[in-house]
Structure 1
Amino acid sequence: MEKLKLFVEIHQLKEQGFKVAAIANKLGISRNTVYKFLEMSLEEAVVWANSLNSRKKKLDPYRDQILSWLKEYPDLSSSQVEDWLKEHHSGIQIGGSTVRLFVKDLREIYHIAKVPYVRDHEAVEELPMGQQGQVDWGEITVKNKEKKDVKLYFITFVLSHSRYKYVEWQGKPFTTRDTIRCHENAFIYFGGMPEELVYDQDHLITVSENAGDILLTSEFQAYKSQRKFRIYLCRKADPQSKGKIENVVKFVKRNFAKSRVFSNIDAWNEQSIAWLGRTGNHNVHNTTKKRPEEVHALEKQHLTPVSPLLSLESSHGSSITRIVCPDNIIKYRSNRYSVPLGTYRPKGCNKVYIETKDTELIIKASQQGEILARHTLSKGKGELIKSRQHSRDRSKGIHAYKETITRQFSDEEQATLFIQKLSEHYPRYIRDQLQIVQSTIHHFRQEIEEALDICIKDQLWSANDLRDVTLHLSRINESKEPQTLQFNNINQGNTPVIRATAHVRELDDYIKILGGVGQ
């Protein structure tokens, strides 16, 4: 019916004297559509409209899935639907117009409205290859698997000529050190560095801008001096200077992040890189009408080569620093590297200095101080690189603890046997078992020797059994001298005496309860 209604409107406007361009503009359709309908007769239009209802569409097999996405997330764009289809169905070959028309039909049939987002932009001249890159930060709140809100932060880079993009995410606000690390990762991803980078007036890299004299933070100044790229700071409310990166931030939020379920930051970054290869850098750019990945293959030759590893130990007196975590590791390039135990101090300064030489990471206590650790740099992500010299000899502390307890018994041979059995039966909880033994010795010094004999005789290999037997022996000893309880009779002057003796079980009864072999 909609197609037939459009057919009638086009012919009516034509009869009223409207030209083809005016009809297309008035009805919001293309001129080719106007020509196609004008060439049809009414009978042909009816047959054509009826054929549309029975004609199979390429995306019909995915209809239910796409419809469920639109119902759950009504503001999904057709380009995002296209990306999700490619993500969930590898190898699918579809065009953007096919998805766009299919999504449009579903919205009309099921009345799923979408509020359009419109923003004005001003065209700027294209820059030569390798001249400029743009950088900006963003943040977004997404849902995790438990439907709880998770706030994520990201930094984006784009090469101005090719529109080739890079994105990196983290679960906390960016620091200057994070920003420097992401710059290095972006240069590796791009295969080089542009001559100039464009930024907002961000506190992570700048202190102030005084009439064109840019004052950078000390860490970023040292980094810029070593990498030797130019910096251009945009004025506030000047989107024309960095419109490309603003579009990238919007693209990342709407096409990749929106409505995606968060699991963990490493998986999220992996999905982001996959999205860049599948959509962000693969799809034809709306302005250049080219694929960024194809243009980047040419622009890459005009980028300044950079070494894959960077040390900021320089003559500028600044270096890359890291904070030692409570588990005595530092984080560098998405990996964890160990430092000697005791390096972390709960109430002290935990800053260390790092330097890279070839494939080696050097960790120092101070800029020119002693070397705390040397590690081979890992090429992976999420790995723990740990030196055996930095590990605690866990057996040494337990061994000393065992000897301390053994020496407190008169029969050290019996005590050694009992402690050995504890280690065999409770290897994961041996420290807890030893603590119970030590506590029992402290509170029941007189009964502990006899209790040890009973436990060994009846093969009760547990510190809890030793404690219970000791406690029982202690109660027996207390009951050997009956306690006399006296009550004063207020009405009579005499003082009657009531003697009461506690009932004592036989020791064998307790052995049976404890589950020993003597039952």
Structure 2
Amino acid sequence: MIGVEDWAEIRRLHRAEGLSARAVARQLGISRGTVLRALASDRPPVYQRPLKGSAVDVVEPAIRELLKQTPTMSATVIAERIGWDRGLTILKERVRELRPAYLPVDPVSRTVYSPGELAQCDLWFPPADIRLGYGQAGRPPVLVMVSGYSRMITARMLPSRTTADLIDGHWRLLSGWQAVPKVLVWDNESGVGQGKLTSEFAAFAGLLAIRIHLCRPRDPEAKGLVERANGYLETSFLPGRTFAGPGDFNTQLTGWLQVANRRHHRTIGCRPLERWEADKAAMLALPPVAPPNWWPLHTRLGRDHCIRVDTCDYSVHPRAIGRQITARADTEEVVATTRAGETVAHHSRCWARHQTITNPEHAAAAEILRGQAIRQRASHARARGLAGLAPDDLGVEVEQRQLGSYDRIFTLIEGGAAKEDT
């Protein structure tokens, strides 16, 4: 058998040089028949070893019969039924080739999203310790949202996974888009709803005029877009970065997403940014009312002049003690106002847990008011001739009884009961 080089040379001598087959055979020192076969073939010669057959060929009819009865029968069971005593590798390969002919055809359709149709949402917990203040560090959740049509990704770290923080996180991300997809896809997150939306998220969906779809339990494929986005963030954004705090994390994440959304996406065959305008145009308009204002905390301020948000206490100006106040909190700040609209507290949201946040002005005002109250009670007590306050508060000297007199009164010392000392 000649090689590829000889085959090419034969064809060149015959076609380009015009030599006859006999002349080519004489020049190359090969037979004329070999030259004629080379000229008759348009493809280079390839060595093929003759097939010898396989030991499985003998039992193939029995395998087909078993697969005809039970198409899903495993290769190990088939080997047992036919008495196979050789290696399982060649048997499994033959069963793998034959099985599709006996299984019903089950094609799947590729999921195609329309512009503005939906966005998938999920919480990503980055494996990095974030400094939260007060000597604490933690791993707060990151709300991730991916648009189905354009694959545009947006994300933001939140203080907690409570319903209020999730709603505020949604609002801030959608405000960045300046548009709202018709459907938000969520799994069974407790802050959103498990089997049924929480009343707060149902109201949020009503405000946005959209539908929030809750996936079935243990069905991560239903939101595969955002699951892959979580993995992309963990492998491409997080490595090698350090963060001074949650604010720094969100700043770095926002800057990185501006670059990431310009990358070429293999599935859609273009950059997400190239599809974004069409996607955004088909979405709903963002409503003008901010949802966090729907769920304020109404309470009468106690003497400790503090309100609790999540696990932290925030001071309120003590002049509001005993009055009805309204506290509103989001992922950035905590604000308390009176019914008259006067702001009596304004704090940055604390991400650490179980802390008391005190405004120095509130503490100083409380000290002044406390002194005024003590002096006022002392004045009233003197006017009534009462001693209801402590001696130090009234400035009155009181005789101190000897402790031994109590022992004699209650017969705790020899001599029994004694007359009360004067």
| TM-score normalised by structure 2 residue count | 0.49
Say which one has the larger Rg: 2
Looking at both structures, which has the greater relative contact order when contacts are Cα pairs under 8 Å and sequence separation is at least 6? 2
